[in-house]
Amino acid sequence: MHVSYTYKAALMGQDTTVLVIMGSTRAGRVCPTIAEWVAQLGRERTGFRHEVIDLANWPLPTDDEAAIPATRRYAQDHTRAWSQKISGAAAVVFVTPQYNWGYPAVLKNAIDHLYHEWHNMPAVIVTYGGHGGTKCSAQLQQVAGAVKMRLAATAPALVLPEAVIREGATLDPNREFNQQVMLIQDAFGELADLMA
């Protein structure tokens, strides 16, 4: 199945790198484990290259750009580099925890540093939390609409075990999220259709 996606993309000369953007930069986070697992499902489902993006490696201060992003008059090298990174992506997948019913500030900040770069970007939102992070998913869907991304209809919400949240127990996504695998595969199928 996935061969047809890559074949079609190759025919169209598309850059098919999917960026899997992690919403958490917190010390002791589980985000890398979940993001890598989601990225692997994406590779298997679509055949496209998936690169996990750690926002900790993309420091974007909140106060050093005088012009609003919609003008694209970026003064800082780090903003220009972030702009280039997102512009080069064929699609994005957000993998983010819910914090106090919203999504982490670092992710909002990374989105808000750009504007046109997000337009028409095919995107999937994957959330996680004690109840799956559906409230932060709704918020992120709204913001994605503001910057004119094209969202997959399926937004998987992964329920974290209490022991992972409270005691820092090791997370095994294959075991804990087994029931959600098909949903995530569906989301990647929709993403590939949006990229076609």
Rounded to the nearest whole angstrom, what is the least distance from the CB of residue 187 to ligand FMN in the complex?
A: 19
Rounded to the nearest whole angstrom, what is the least distance from the CB of residue 14 to ligand FMN in the complex?
A: 31
- The whole-angstrom separation of Cα 78 and Cα 93 is 21
Residues found in the chain:
196
Q: Which long-range contacts (CB under 8 A, 24 or more apart) does 26-29 make?
A: 26/104, 28/168, 29/97
> Which candidate, 157, 97, 147, places its Cα nearest to that of 123?
147
Residues facing residue 166 across a β-bridge: none
Letters for 70-109 (x = contact with ligand FMN by CB under 6 A, - = none) are ---------------------------xxxxx--------
Among 31, 55, 107, 147, binds ligand FMN (CB under 6 A): 31
Structural tokens at position 115: 């504007």
Residue 3 or 27 having the CB closest to ligand FMN? 27
Rounded to the nearest whole angstrom, what is the least distance from the CB of residue 119 to ligand FMN in the complex?
A: 28
Instruction: Examine residue 130 and tell whether it contacts ligand FMN (CB under 6 A).
Output: yes
The residues in 156-185 that bind ligand FMN, with binding defined as CB under 6 A, are 160, 165
Instruction: Examine residue 139 and tell whether it contacts ligand FMN (CB under 6 A).
Output: no
